[in-house]
Structure 1
Amino acid sequence: MGTRTQGASRLWLALTCLTLSAVVNAQDVPAPASSVATVPAVIPMAKPHAAAPREPSAPDAWGGIRTGSEATLSDRVASYRIDAELDAGKHSVKGSEQLRWRNRSQQTVNRIYLHLYLNAFQNEGSTFFTERNVLTAHGHSRGNAAPKKGEWGWIDLASVQQGNAALKWSFVHPDDGPATDQTVAAIDLAEPVPAGGTLTLDVDFTSQLPRVIERTGWWGDFNLVAQWFPKIGVLELPGERGATQVQWNVHEFHFNSEFYADFGSYDVRLTVPSDYTVGAVGAQQDEPSVQNGKTTYHFVQNDVHDFAWVAAKGFRTLDGSWHGPGSPQVAVRVIYPPEYVASAQLVLKATLDSLSYFSDTLGPYPYRTVTAVVPPFNADEAGGMEYPTFFTAEGDKEIDKDTMDQWNIDFVTIHEFGHGYFYGLLASNEFEEPMLDEGMNEYWDERMLRDRNQRVLTPSTWLRRAGITPSMDVFTSERLDAGLSHPFDPLGQNSWDRYSSSSYGTVYSRTATAMHDLEERLGKDVMARAMREYYRRWHFRHPSVADLRATLIDVSGNARAVDEIFDQFVYGTARIDDRVASIDISRVLPEAGSWMKNGQRVELTDDDRYEQVAKADEAWKKTHPHAGKTEAGAFPIRSTVTVVREGAAVPQILRVTFAGGSHVDVHWDDDRRWARFVFTGDTAAVSAELDPDRNILLDENKLNDSRTVKTDASASRRWTADLAAALQALYACLVTL
């Protein structure tokens, strides 16, 4: 489908604000006249193209730093009590929800907004499908399934009550999406919520799960129930994530975006067929109750911002336990289909290891449960997704530990658990700042794998049979999929204003690569302290990219390094490509011309110079009969190395190696587009290399970082290794996007 230009979008937004509604395809539910109040000025919504702010949040944003001495772990703004029943045959859920929401602002609230995420899957007129058709035409992505008859999904509101008043709703389009999108509903309240007041809504709804397209849905007797209940948007205050006024941060469900919500409490009862295995966010309360072939489970979890669950027939469970300093005893459960028992063992171990690593490096894990779900074959798109205390992994029937099989399962498990910190506890806005979740999580996952000495292995057995068994450091692997040669979008861009799905995918790898390079400049220990401080300041709040930047500067004291990385890559689309252009070798011989010597002018011709050099060389050989070919002889040797910048300036080390094995390191730390470095001595330079320790992984072409005076076949061997690495990068890409 066609899309509006940005100019048309701004005009549409202006008209929307003037009319105070963007109601199209209205599906208003009639309400008694007494329930319809006159609507005063409506609090504005976040801008359609909002992205990472540049100004840090105010110190008291979201109530200030959580010290642990508060009555609750989080400031519980939005809490839900839900009763839901799964119709396994229809893959539908009938639910009743009581929402309690607190108005944190100093303004009266007359209208609230609900996310109805499942409506992204009801037809091709949604923002999700409209964007998918465009973005996937320019790159690869997950979520490409084509629903057939009976495989669409949606959420229908049956009623919304405020006390005794039945409320009406209409669909709005905060991001100027298609008129047919119904993923955001505006509800005008019968009674306004005063400053500091609390709203209670009773909502009846039915959710029809789609055949698994992306993140949620069913396949066979497997039901992953996510994005399934009406969920209130976030009311941001001035000084929070760049907001300059009270505003609703509520976006349509975009193809590449995920979520953003307030912390609260979830008290959920789930009724399913008794022969189904159930797992969910939070801890199960008491024993399930059984009646008429159905079982009701009761789950409660405080201080989280979402709730998802699984109900699957014939699945098994594998249990473990973990405890660490500052954390409660944690019950760990893996829910899996019987054919994936080998994967379940790996998922359990990787989850236990992740609990230790993230708790040790960032902060204690505060919850009492972790549940990991391994989806069945044909439901792969339900894998690799995160919710608080609950995530989905991936599985295989057989695991070859000598190839990528185990690495993939380990990585996906670590990555999805890691979201429990970056998406869950830090609760960044995945709509507007996906870098803070997907990117920073990817970076910390790779640090964990690096600390375990777990390298990326050969992706397939045929390469091993051919005698090619390369492995590489995990961060070297990341750079291969980071789009370094032509970055279309800044890392800090929102999730939907992207050139393509492939460009969005670089949020993972390019962020990890950028943070790796920043780590090399600040020091690994400094970066570790900075990230722990970032978690301390911002867990149970909602940080922005600017807040991350400020923390890194505060801890490291190196504003220059942090600012350069953020300006060039987070807020910009810089590329780096420094190269060694040439190595020129010459002897420092007497220079022809007219010279003053002892008060008299003496002329040296070319013939005179030739004769002088020949005599000096002959004399030197007589006094050095055993000299090697690499020695200078009677005259010093001048080596001139020229380096060129094709992109943004970055501090570099140039290592020049001389005949005999000695080397000199020179710092090139300025913004010159090219530079020449001259070395005079007894031996000639034989090679020059930028970034000899390979610390600058953002450099798009590492092959031109070095040059030798004589032909060196190692370059062709490096091409072979890179080809093999590119094949494994494809595998890694498929599991991270």
Structure 2
Amino acid sequence: MPQAGAPAAASTAAAPAVPTEIPFASPHAAFVRTPSAPTAWGGPRTGSEATLSDRVVSYRIQAKLDAEKHAVDGQQQLTWRNRSDRPVSAVFLHLYLNAFEGEGSTFFTERGVLAADGGSRGTGKVKKGEWGYIDLNHVEQDGATLKWRYVHPDNGPATDHTVVRVDLAQPVPAGGSVTLDMAFHSQLPRVIERTGYFGKFNLVAQWFPKIGVLELPGERGATEPRWNVHEFHFNSEFYADFGEFDVRLTAPKDYVVGAVGEQQGEPVPDGNDLTWHFTQGDVHDFAWMAAPGFKTVETTWAHPGSPTVKVKVLYPEEYAGDAQPVLKATTDSLTYFSNTLGPYPYKTVTAVVPPFNAGEAGGMEYPTFFTADHVQHYQAHTSTEWLLDFVTIHEFGHGYFYGLLASNEFEEPMLDEGLNEYWDQRMLRDRKQDMWFTTPFWKFFGVEPPMGVFAFERMTAMLSHPGDPLGQNAWDRLSSAQYGTVYSRTATAMHDLEERLGKDVTEKAFKQYYATWHFRHPGIGDLQATLAEVSGKPEVVAQVFEQFVYGTERVDDQITDITSEEVLPLAGTTVKDGKRVELTSDDNDDAIEKQRDAWKKAHPDAKEGTGPFPFKTTVTVWRDGAAVAQVLKVTFADDSVETVRWDDQRRWARFVFTKPVKAASAELDPEQKIYTDHNKLNDSRTVEANHAATGRWTSDFAALLQGIYSLLVTL
């Protein structure tokens, strides 16, 4: 017993940890330059682990579709693991469907600004009774009812209800887990963008309460734990932890249901309904469709390193002709992506062709499940075959960049939309499947410009006036049209990087990127580090990233002048035999003419541009933008060629060639490797005026107008 007045002995029992408030990721978070720590997200997956991913969350959902009201009532049990080193007293949930509850949401507020230029999907008018929303009816933790409130991590309008904070009855200790039981009601919108209904067709996506991502130090640039739980922005998509889903879906018995994952047995009758059971581990989202009258075609696909995959296409009767092309493009994509990136690890792929007037439900991706498109959507203006293949390949490809690599589409959309677009076009290029300008539609008008897939991308990339860095987040952008360059300008920049690194080296680097980062949410810094390490050319990679990913550089190298003149003897005085001798201009001219006459007699068949005197050719090049490594090719009258590299930082340069023949032309980038150069028409010049290019464009345009006038006469 201590003496009176003596200090009490310190207790040996540890005081309970007091949860500290964990901050949100910045509302303006974007590209992450810093590579993630080697141990981020649990470290690389070797394949020897018990599960493919480090599962953070599990969802057990029972849901019933009210087919008349296009509404879903659900009960969900969500179990989440706290990966951090501190207790967590509140968790945050996405309620994505509330983006469609009214014009006060972040989604609609941004739509009014960003879509003003018309370069956007998702701009359909919402009529009475067509809004969508999700009501969170109750949340419980171990039987205790929890309080929750709407929050605005991105400082969006108070009327946005896409993120809620749930205060826990008991904190989740470091390394511990919490289970939340909740009930919710989801009203689908008339399909505006990504999710919703039309007629009896229902695409049910972003429909359940989904927990945000708690990022830890060393993950995507984080220096302390932070909640990455952005509002649903107009141009953004999604980001979530890997986990497992066990979902039972009840729909009318005459409805066909397709969903993420593997169907467990046959659907079970329940009065006038059927209950379908789907499970899938190691994914981060779940979506489904339900509609009557849909048909199915399916096949299986097998490949070394992957399980046997059941490939299924669901389609309405009116688009039966699309089913087999979508099926083939999907199996071809499985092979290509497995060969060039890494094995496909799941056992299913399901593609859905939306019905007529539900086009905004097309072109969307979820793990093992995507919506394609239908040919009639494009018939008025382009090649149906090319675009049907492209949309299918593109949405499947998301299964790798959005699905397996699981990058943050809110903050770094380039890592999904951009890289996926680039890889899709590589596949089409390898298939020698050119773009739509080479189709009968344009041939009808007499216009047949060649259009490879990457040439098409550079056309739509806004290379002359890029508004935002490629690495910018999805919402801090000038417009939806500028956001669209995430696709095309990324594909163009990666094309040019591939040309500098080499196709095989680039593919090797992306294989390493996939091997290291699948199931681990890489950032842009991780992509750059992998490309630099594997290629052994960090300075080349850094230059491309600084110019395009982190900056808004513009490239426009051009030839401003070319001259090619004879180097003639000069009049004046000179010293000969110790005496100064003068050569007058007249004497000099006479001597020149005599040499020319003698040379012509000796070379009666000589080409124009050759003669007794050498020619001095001077080519002036100008750089109106960022520096890129260029090759200058000069062609001479005898068809000989000289090439020189221009790979320094000079704004302009002159290159001089002295040869026995006159120059005919000069050209920058003769092998057409630099697609980021926004104006290729000024890359070449001829010594003599040549109007062939102008004439070709003029005649093509005239033919186009004539064809249009002929068509109008027939209407």
Please give the range of the TM-score, normalised by the shorter of the 2 chains: over 0.9
Which residue, 227, 230, 238 being the options, matches 2:209?
230
- The equivalent position to 1:542 in structure 2, one of 501, 508, 521, is 521
Alpha-carbon shift at residue 549 of structure 1 (Å): 0.3
1:647 and 2:610 are equivalent in the alignment:
no
Amino acid at match of 1:347: V
> Do structure 1's residue 163 and structure 2's residue 142 form an aligned pair?
yes
Per mean C-alpha deviation after superposition, the further-off stretch among 136-145 and 538-547 is 136-145
Checking the alignment, whether the CA contact within 8 Å between 1:46 and 1:248 is kept in structure 2 is yes
Q: Is the 8 A contact 1:403 1:459 kept in 2?
A: no
Whole-angstrom CA distance in 1 between matches of 2:500 and 2:151: 46
- Distance in 2 of aligned mates of 1:439 and 1:697: 15
The CA deviation at 1:639 is 1.1
1:327–1:722: structure 2 CA closer, same or farther, 3 Å change rule? farther
CA distance in 1, matches of 2:58, 2:334: 26
| Consecutive unaligned residues in structure 1, runs of 5 or more | 1-37, 728-737
Alignment of 1:11-50 (within 5 A): 40-50=19-29
- 2:293 and 2:637 map into 1 onto residues whose CA distance is 69
Determine helix, strand or coil for the equivalent of 2:58.
Answer: strand
* Contact 2:18/2:87 (<8 A) preserved: no
Distance in 1 (CA, whole Å) between partners of 2:414 and 2:490 is 7
Following superposition of structure 1 onto structure 2, how do residues 92-171 of structure 1 map, counting pairs within 5 Å?
Answer: 92-171=71-150
Alignment partner, residue 704 of structure 1: 682
Deviation at 1:83, TM superposition (A): 0.3
SS in 2 for 1:498: coil
Cα distance in 2 for residues equivalent to 1:443 and 1:723 = 31
1:67-78 to 2 correspondences below 5 Å:
67-78=46-57
TM-score, normalised to structure 2's length? Answer: 0.93
Rate the CA distance shift 1:604–1:171 in 2: closer, same or farther, 3 A: farther
Q: Which of 457-466 and 643-652 deviates more?
A: 457-466
- Residue deviations 1:556-606 (CA, integer Å, cap 9, x gap): 000111011000000000010001111112111123444444444444443
* 1:691-730 correspondence runs (5 A): 691-716=669-694, 719=697
Secondary structure of the corresponding residue to residue 694 of structure 2: helix
- Spell out the pairing of 1:325-364 with structure 2 (5 A cutoff): 325-364=304-343
Deviation of 1:304 after TM superposition, in Å, equals 0.2
| C-alpha displacement of 1:139 | 4.3
Secondary structure of the 1:704 match is coil
Question: Is the 1:343–1:399 contact (alpha carbons within 8 Å) kept by the matching residues of 2?
Answer: no
Partners of 1:185 and 1:152 lie apart in 2 by: 20
2:645 aligns with one of 667, 670, 673: 667
Distance across 1 between alignment mates of 2:584 and 2:25:
79
Once the two structures are superposed, residues 594-623 of structure 1 have per-residue CA deviations (whole angstroms, 9 ceiling, x without a partner) of 444444444444334323322322333343
Letter in 2 for 1:183: T
RMSD over equivalenced CA pairs, Å = 2.0
Give 2:531's aligned amino acid. Answer: L
How far 1:291 sits from its partner (Å)?
Answer: 1.8
In structure 1, what is the equivalent of residue 665 of structure 2?
687
Pick from 260, 264, 276: which aligns with 1:285? 264
Match of 2:158 in 1: 179
Query: Could you tell me which of 543, 549, 569 is aligned with 2:548?
Result: 569
- Structure 2 counterparts to residues 443-592 of structure 1, below 5 A: 443-458=422-437, 461-592=440-571
Give yes or no for the alignment of 1:606 onto 2:606.
no
Could you tell me whether the CA contact under 8 Å between 1:157 and 1:204 is conserved in 2?
yes
Alpha-carbon separation, structure 2, partners of 1:76 and 1:243: 20
Q: Does 1:191 align with 2:170?
A: yes
Structure 1 CA distance, aligned partners of 2:656 and 2:258?
67
Is residue 2:656 matched to residue 1:678? yes
1:732 maps to none
TM-aligned CA distance change 1:717 to 1:489, over 3 Å: farther
Q: Distance in 2 between matches of 1:314 and 1:237?
A: 47
Give secondary structure in 2 for the equivalent of 1:458: helix
Residue-by-residue CA offset, 1:615-638 (whole Å, 9 max, x unaligned) = 32233334334433331x221111
CA distance in 2: counterparts of 1:536 and 1:208, whole angstroms? 40
- Tell whether the 8 Å contact from 1:575 to 1:648 is kept in structure 2 after alignment: yes
SS of structure 2 residue aligned to 1:635: strand
Distance in 1 (CA, whole Å) between partners of 2:333 and 2:688 is: 48
1:723 Cα offset (Å): 7.5
**TM-score under structure 1 length normalisation:** 0.91
Mapped partners of 1:497, 1:172: distance in 2: 20
Which letter does structure 2 place at the counterpart of 1:408? L
Distance 1:272 1:626, change over 3 A: closer
Secondary structure of the structure 1 residue equivalent to 2:298: strand
**Is contact 1:119–1:182 with CA below 8 Å preserved after alignment?**
yes
CA contact (8 A) 1:491 1:570 kept: yes
For 1:316 and 1:90, the matched residues in 2 are separated by 23
Distance 2:574 2:38 in 1: 71
> Which residue identity does 1:50 align to in structure 2?
A
Match of residue 6 from structure 1: none
Give the whole-Å Cα distance in 2 for the aligned partners of 1:204 and 1:703: 61
The match for 1:324 is 303
- 1:306 is displaced (CA, Å) by 0.2
CA contact (8 A) 2:438 2:450 kept: no
Pairing partner for 2:227 from 248, 257, 276: 248
User: Which residue number in structure 2 is paired with residue 14 of structure 1?
Assistant: none
Amino acid at match of 2:528: R
Measured against aligned partners, the alpha-carbon deviations of 1:231-270 in whole angstroms (never above 9, x if no partner) come to 0000000110011111001100000000000000000000
Unaligned runs of 5+ in 2: 1-16, 706-715
- 1:27 paired residue number: none
1:29 match: none
- CA deviations on 1:301-342 (whole Å, 9 max, x unpaired) are 000000000001111111111010111111111111101011
Letter in structure 2 aligned against 1:482: A
> Could you tell me which residue of structure 1 aligns to residue 276 of structure 2?
297
Contact 2:438 2:451 in 1 (8 A): no
Given the superposition, is the C-alpha separation of residues 720 and 572 from structure 1 closer, same or farther in structure 2, using an over 3 Å criterion? farther
Question: Which digits, 9 at most, give the CA deviation of each residue in 1:19-43, with x for residues without a partner?
Answer: xxxxxxxxxxxxxxxxxxx995310
The percent identity for this pair of structures is 66
Distance of 2:77 and 2:426 partners within structure 1: 42
Equivalent residue letter for 2:673:
N
Q: 2:37 is paired with a residue of what secondary structure?
A: coil
Taking the aligned partners of 2:547 and 2:650, their CA distance within structure 1 comes to 16
Q: Which deviations, in whole Å up to 9, do the C-alpha atoms of 1:674-725 show, x marking residues without a partner? A: 111111112111111101111000000000011112233442366479989x
1:656 counterpart (623, 629, 634): 634
Residue of structure 1 equivalent to 2:286 = 307
Return the alpha-carbon distance in structure 2 between the equivalents of residues 249 and 371 of structure 1. 29
Counterpart code for 2:224: Q
- Aligned residue pair count: 688
Alignment correspondent of 1:204: 183
1:276-317: per-residue Cα shift (whole Å, max 9, x none)? 000000000022110211000000000000000000111111
Of residues 576-585 and 393-402 in structure 1, the stretch that sits farther from structure 2 once superposed is: 393-402
| Aligned twin of 2:43 | 64
What's the offset of the Cα at 1:457?
2.8
CA distance in 2, matches of 1:160, 1:403: 50
Q: Answer whether contact 1:342 1:398 (CA < 8 A) is retained.
A: no
Equivalent position SS for 2:420: helix
Separation in structure 2 between the aligned mates of residue 532 and residue 401 of structure 1, nearest angstrom: 39
Q: Does 1:636 align with 2:625?
A: no
